């Protein structure tokens, strides 16, 4: 949700930074890879060591930096399928590091009554966070779209970083417990949303295909009936068909007579002379 609604504001605020990077010769791929390495390193170092406030701000800054890759690609005309693939893959690494770090922190530092629940919530949220983009990717792979949901990556990062920050302020460890389980539930709901969207598109296409096949079948039947009715030999009531009975039975419709059976030219190989 934030990924779509916040993009215009992000482009306005950080467009100058992206243009500066372009002038410096920094590529979009370099920003993507560097941002991922920094996110993983900061998360796996600062969060398990209980430096939560610093971790929240540092990861937030790196996420902002990492999101400059799209603007740089557009400014340099280097947007590509490879860039989209790289960005999505690197995002999975960063997300995994953040939620894994939260799980480790909960085991080492959280209140005993909340530690197991927080760790389990982080793992489930991470799992749901991996399925959400997978559902979208699979829908697009078979020709549909599933760019919908209330727990996209920006939403997940916002919620978890807010939880990390509040716990770092010593407002209570329960903030992270709530944050992880909220993300787990919202992630599951987002997967269902994308599955439903994909299902509706697939069913609509199936209905359209059946209607198209039915229309083609009716058109083929109509053409077949028309062709049979216009056949000059076997068609009923054909004006050019042979006349039946009467004194002119030996004449064709144009008045020319047929040779009686047996009176064939031997040099005509059985043809009518």
Please give the torsion angle defined by the CA atoms of residues 66, 67, 68 and 73, in that order, rounded to the nearest 10 degrees: 110
Are 190 and 3 in contact by the 8 Å Cβ rule? The answer is no
Strand partners, 257: 251
Residues found in the chain? 273
Are 32 and 80 in contact by the 8 Å Cβ rule? The answer is no
How far, rounded to the nearest angstrom, does the alpha carbon of residue 252 sit from its chain's CA centroid?
68
Measured CA distances, 242 to 51, 114, 226, 259, 261 (Å): 102, 98, 20, 14, 16
Neighbours of 257 (CB within 10 A): 9
| Dihedral sign for Cα atoms in the order 196, 197, 202, 207 | positive
Please give the torsion angle defined by the CA atoms of residues 30, 33, 37 and 40, in that order, rounded to the nearest 10 degrees: 140
Catalytic, out of 29, 69, 87, 91: 91
Q: Is 111 in the active site?
A: no
Q: Which residues are catalytic?
A: 91
């Amino acid at each position: 949700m934030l990924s779509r609604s916040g993009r215009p504001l992000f482009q306005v605020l950080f467009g100058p930074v992206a243009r500066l990077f372009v002038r410096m010769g920094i590529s979009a791929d370099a920003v993507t890879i560097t941002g991922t390495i920094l996110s993983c390193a900061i998360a796996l170092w600062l969060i398990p060591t209980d430096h939560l406030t610093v971790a929240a701000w540092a990861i937030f800054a790196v996420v902002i930096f990492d999101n400059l890759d799209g603007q740089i690609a557009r400014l340099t005309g280097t947007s590509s399928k490879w860039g989209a693939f790289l960005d999505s893959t690197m995002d999975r690494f960063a997300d995994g590091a953040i939620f894994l770090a939260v799980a480790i922190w909960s085991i080492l530092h959280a209140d005993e009554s909340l530690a197991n629940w927080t760790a389990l919530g982080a793992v489930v949220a991470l799992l749901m966070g991996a399925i959400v983009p997978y559902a979208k990717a699979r829908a697009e792979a078979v020709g549909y779209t599933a760019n919908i949901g209330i727990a996209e990556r920006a939403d997940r990062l916002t919620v978890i970083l807010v939880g990390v920050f509040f716990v770092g302020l010593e407002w209570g460890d329960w903030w992270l417990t709530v944050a992880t389980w909220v993300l787990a539930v919202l992630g599951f709901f987002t997967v269902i949303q994308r599955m439903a969207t994909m299902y509706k598109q697939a069913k609509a296409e199936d209905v359209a295909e059946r209607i198209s096949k039915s229309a083609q079948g009716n058109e083929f039947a109509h053409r077949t009936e028309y062709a049979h009715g216009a056949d000059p030999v076997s068609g009923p009531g054909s004006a050019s068909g042979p006349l039946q009975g009467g004194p002119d039975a030996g004449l064709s419709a144009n008045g020319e007579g047929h040779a009686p059976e047996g009176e064939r030219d031997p040099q005509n190989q059985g043809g009518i002379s």
